[in-house]
Amino acid sequence: MLEVRGKTMNQKRLVIVAYLSFVLILGLLGMKQGQAQAPKTAYSNMAPLDQYLMADRNAEIALARSAAPEAISREAKILVLGRHGYETAVEGENGFVCVVERGWMSPSDAQEFWNPRLRGPICFNPPAARSVLPTTLKRTEMVLAGRTKAEIIEGNKTAFEKGELPALEPGAMSYMMSKEAYLTDNDDHNLAHLMFYAPPLDGKAWGADLPKSPVMLIPQFKGAQPIDVFIVPVGRWSDGSAAPVM
């Protein structure tokens, strides 16, 4: 079996799903043997808020911009996380919105949901900024209100059902190509990739998770919202340098 940085292909794919959805999900990619590695630290509850914040506002702006190539992010709107939620740090001109997400954008069964070290720079294209980003803002609002993980997921679901969150727009996608992202405590913390959002459907329609296919389906919004997320690794970081692929 092909080896990638000391890991088998199946093991590497599992690690990728771990940090792209902020969680190791047993059996998601149909692994034939072995068990998923648990996070090195247990995160059963939310840590003090200060641990999720970045003290240097300019550093968070730069990290958010690093999610996408400079030709995209230099004219994007930039949000940073403050004590009362995400705030606009830079007004944009091209409809893209870049932000550094935290672990609570994970599925409900994510073991690293409350990991304060997680930093997920992401740049949403205009359709995703209008129809996916609002979920990030809503979940963050609930986090700052002191809700539990279960309450956040249920609140996400209820908000969508009540029309407080918009329906997914066609063409929604995002860039996650930051060299500086930290998406899991496990050994491989990062990978340059694109994310595509779609209504729920059989992943085979995308060729997802099939042998040698670069497309993977992750359950980021599982139990909360009818959105499938397909990821495609790319071979370059946002600065144009070569990035490892599967």
**Residue 82 falls inside a structural domain:** yes
Q: What is the pTM of this model?
A: 0.84
Residue segments in the chain with a per-residue pLDDT below the cut of 70 = 1-41, 187-188, 246
**Residue 198 falls inside a structural domain:** yes
Q: What integer pLDDT is reported at residue 14 of this predicted model?
A: 45
Report the Cα–Cα distance between both ends of the chain, in Å, rounded. Answer: 13
Residue 125: both structure tokens together: 């294209």
**Residue 193 falls inside a structural domain:** yes
**Residue 244 falls inside a structural domain:** no
Q: What integer pLDDT is reported at residue 150 of this predicted model?
A: 94
Residue with tokens 């060299």: 179
Q: What integer pLDDT is reported at residue 186 of this predicted model?
A: 81
The dihedral through the CA atoms of 216, 221, 223, 226 has a sign that is: negative
Residue 246: both structure tokens together: 């599967």
Q: Of 168, 177, 159, which Cα lies nearest the Cα of 198? A: 168
**Residue 228 falls inside a structural domain:** yes
**Residue 246 falls inside a structural domain:** no
**Parent domain of 35:** 3-233
**Residue 238 falls inside a structural domain:** no
**pLDDT tens profile 126-155:** 999 999 999 999 999 999 999 999 999 999
Alpha-carbon distance of 32 to 56, in angstroms, equals 44
Number of folded domains that form the chain: 1
Q: What integer pLDDT is reported at residue 40 of this predicted model?
A: 59
**Residue 9 falls inside a structural domain:** yes
The beta strand positions in the chain, using DSSP E, are 3-4, 7-8, 77-82, 85-90, 97-101, 120-124, 173-176, 193-198, 216-218, 228-233
**pLDDT tens profile 72-81:** 999 999 999 9
